[in-house]
C-alpha cells in the first residue's frame, strides 16, 4: 500500500517510528516532513500529504502532531479526505469500519508509542463495513460538493502548465523563488482579467508565499488561480501551484488586484 505520512515537530519522533514499521511491513511510504524536531507550522506539511490522498496518489495517509487536533483539521480541509483523530485501538477500528477513514491523526503527547503503532496496524487491516454507513459517507462527499459550489462557484479556476527548465534553477538546483513569484503574479492577473472582463487590473500586493516543496529541472508543475472575493474596486485571487505528477503542493499565496481607470486611479469594478 502507498501511504503518505507527515507531522509537525511535536509528532516527528512518532513519524520516524511509524515510517520504519510501515516500510518493514512492505508498504511504500512517502514522507512529506517535517524533517526534524525544530519548530514548524504544521499545515505546510500536513496539507501536501492530505492532497496526495485526496488526489489518489497515495491510498492512505497518517498525520501526527502534539495532540493531533490541528493536523486532523488541516487534512479534512482537502476534498476527498476523511481523517479521524485516533487515541485508542477502538477509535482506529471504528474509523475504518464506520467512517471509511482514509487518513488518521495521532497525538504524540497523548498516547505511548507502542499504542500509536498498534493504532496504525489496526487501522490498516480493518475494512469498511458499508451497509448503513455507506449513505453517511456519501452524504459527507455531497456536503463537500455543496461547499465547493458555494459563493465563489461563479469564478472558474484558471491553470497553466510549466516544464521546469535549467535556467529556472538557483545554485541549489531548485527553482529560484523569483520565478514562482512571477508565475503567481501572471496567473493572478490572468484570472482577475478573465473572470471580470472590462477591468484593467494591476497588482496591489501579495500575501505570504508558503513554499512547501522544492521542484527541479525536468519537473512539471501546474499553477492555478481563482478569484475568491470581489470588492468595490479590487478583487482577491487565490494562487497555488502543484506538482503535476505527485500533486504535492509547491506554493500557495493570495493576491489583491486593483481595477485602474483611464486616469490611472482605482475605478469601480462593473457589476
Active site residue 133: no
Distance between start and end Cα atoms, the chain:
51
CB proximity list for 183: less than 8 A, separation 6 or greater: 160, 162, 223, 241
| CB 235, CB 190: distance < 8 Å | no
The DSSP bridge partners found for residue 106 are: 64
**Residue 258 contacts residue 222 (beta carbons within 8 Å):** no
Residue 49, all three cell numbers: 500529504
Is 98 a known active-site residue? yes
Alpha-helical regions (H) of the chain: 12-24, 43-54, 69-75, 89-97, 113-125, 133-148, 177-195
Please provide residue 148's backbone torsions phi and psi, each rounded to the nearest 5 degrees.
-65, -25
Q: One of 98, 133, 144, 228 is an active-site residue; which one?
A: 98
Among residues 261, 243, 240, which one has the least CA distance to residue 188? 240
Out of 24, 27, 38, 71, the active site residue is: 71
**What are the cell numbers at 169?**
534553477
Strand order in the sheet with 28-31: 28-31, 2-7, 60-65, 103-107, 83-85
Q: How far apart are CA 120 and CA 111, in angstroms?
A: 12
CB-side neighbour CA atoms (13 Å) of 266: 13
Residues serving a catalytic function are: 71, 98
Amino acid at each position: 500500500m502507498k501511504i503518505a505520512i507527515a507531522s509537525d515537530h511535536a509528532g516527528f519522533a512518532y513519524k520516524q517510528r511509524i515510517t520504519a514499521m510501515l516500510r518493514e511491513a512492505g508498504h511504500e511510504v512517502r514522507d512529506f516532513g517535517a524533517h526534524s524536531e525544530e519548530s514548524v507550522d504544521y499545515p505546510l506539511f500536513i496539507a501536501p500529504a492530505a492532497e496526495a490522498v485526496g488526489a489518489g496518489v497515495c491510498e492512505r495517509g497518517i498525520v501526527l502532531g502534539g495532540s493531533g487536533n490541528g493536523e486532523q483539521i488541516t487534512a479534512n480541509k482537502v476534498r476527498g479526505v476523511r481523517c479521524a483523530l485516533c487515541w485508542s485501538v477502538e477509535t482506529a477500528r471504528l474509523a475504518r469500519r464506520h467512517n471509511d477513514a482514509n487518513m488518521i491523526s495521532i497525538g504524540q503527547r497523548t498516547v505511548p508509542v507502542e499504542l500509536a503503532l498498534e493504532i496504525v496496524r489496526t487501522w490498516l487491516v480493518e475494512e469498511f463495513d458499508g451497509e448503513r454507513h455507506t449513505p453517511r459517507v456519501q452524504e459527507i462527499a455531497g456536503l463537500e460538493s455543496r461547499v465547493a459550489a458555494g459563493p465563489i462557484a461563479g469564478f472558474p479556476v484558471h491553470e497553466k502548465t510549466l516544464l521546469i527548465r535549467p535556467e529556472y534553477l538557483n545554485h541549489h538546483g531548485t527553482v529560484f523563488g523569483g520565478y514562482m513569484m512571477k508565475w503567481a503574479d501572471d496567473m493572478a492577473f490572468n484570472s482577475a482579467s478573465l473572470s471580470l472582463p472590462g477591468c484593467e487590473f494591476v497588482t496591489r500586493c501579495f500575501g505570504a508565499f508558503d513554499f512547501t516543496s522544492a521542484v527541479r529541472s525536468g519537473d512539471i508543475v501546474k499553477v492555478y488561480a481563482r478569484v475568491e472575493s470581489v470588492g468595490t474596486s479590487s478583487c482577491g485571487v487565490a494562487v497555488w501551484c502543484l506538482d503535476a505528477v505527485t500533486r504535492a503542493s509547491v506554493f500557495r499565496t493570495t493576491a489583491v488586484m486593483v481595477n485602474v481607470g483611464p486616469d490611472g486611479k482605482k475605478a469601480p469594478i462593473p457589476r
